[in-house]
Chains A and B, each alone.
Chain A
Amino acid sequence: MYGRKVKLRFLFIILILLSLILSVFLILKSLEENVVYFKSPSDIQLLEEIQDKKIRVGGMVKENSIEISSEKINFIVTDFKNEINVVYSGVVPNLFSEGKGVVAEGYLKDRSFFEATKILAKHDENYMPPEVKAILKEK
């Protein structure tokens, strides 16, 4: 009925469509699983349940809250309304210090305790992560 060329072309288009659908599906599914949400200490207070999912917490490092020992570093992240204790054992970026903005990535243990797996590096002393800026603006 149809020529060989037409059939081939038809097959080709179906193949393209299939691979397109497949890749869109894969991307969306993987996106859903691997997205990391950003929360402020106040957001965390409002959480309904504590999930075992990686999140980011941002705010300012509270004055006089950093404690360091040979294994770990403890500090408090605050958005001047609420605060949360963070425990961390890992690399500390250069600009991590008291009274400066910070973004920590890790797992929430309960509403006032956060176990960080990574503290995000920043590059400039005047620089504040947009997320942290937004939090401070809200208050």
Chain B
Amino acid sequence: MSNDKDDSKELPSFIKNWNQFYGIIIVWLVFLIFVFWLITIFFR
């Protein structure tokens, strides 16, 4: 993955670099799918 150092200073302070941000997006997606799966099972 790209790690563009020039614009990483524009990131919010709690995110170190772009790769970490991309990781957060993937974790968020997995989390959403997991929550939706739980909702599907719970309200079946």
Decide whether A and B are members of one complex: no
- B residues within 8 Å of A by Cβ? none
